[in-house]
A = this chain, B = another copy of it.
């Protein structure tokens, strides 16, 4: 392996411009969620949908794995909250299986169903599907600690 090419692989991820460094505090949530529609909120279930936007593509031109993980984090958190959790809590564990690619402008659904919300712990399963075919392209789970106080 030519280690120079690994260096170029990593350096290629950075923009030359410095405009990224000036992005505001807490830009991550809107960066991911801008354009997401809320389709359903029930106790223990939240479904959202979105057209895959240009900004969330990876170098292979499909939805970035980090974006998928972030949807599981954020929409999963909303579902745990909807189940009556005493707080939004803090993440303990997130896992994701990547099954297929979702491409630019594809309509996707993010379907978060709570598996359990107890006094201290909430767990949610999140499925990402292509709206047109119903095909699952990612599935994950998110486990949160729901403290009365905020100490793990």
Interfacial residues, chain A to chain B (CB-CB below 8 A): 1, 3, 5-7, 9-15, 20-21, 23-36, 38, 41-43, 46, 48, 53-61, 64-67, 69-70, 73-75, 77-78, 81-84, 88, 90-101, 104, 115-116, 118-121, 123, 125, 136, 139, 141, 143, 145, 147, 151-152
Identical chains bound together, number: 4
User: A29-B13, A121-B92 are known contacts. Are A141 and B6 too (CB-CB below 8 A)?
Assistant: no
**CB-based contact A99/B78 at 8 Å:** no
The 7 closest A-B pairs by CB, nearest first: A66-B70, A69-B69, A95-B95, A23-B55, A118-B152, A13-B29, A15-B30
**CB-based contact A34/B7 at 8 Å:** no
* Complex: chain B residue closest to A121, CB-CB: B152
Q: Give 17 new A-B contacts, CB below 8 A, not counting A10-B36, A11-B38, A93-B93.
A: A1-B83, A3-B43, A9-B81, A9-B88, A10-B46, A12-B29, A13-B32, A13-B36, A25-B54, A28-B64, A65-B70, A69-B96, A90-B101, A93-B143, A97-B141, A99-B115, A100-B116
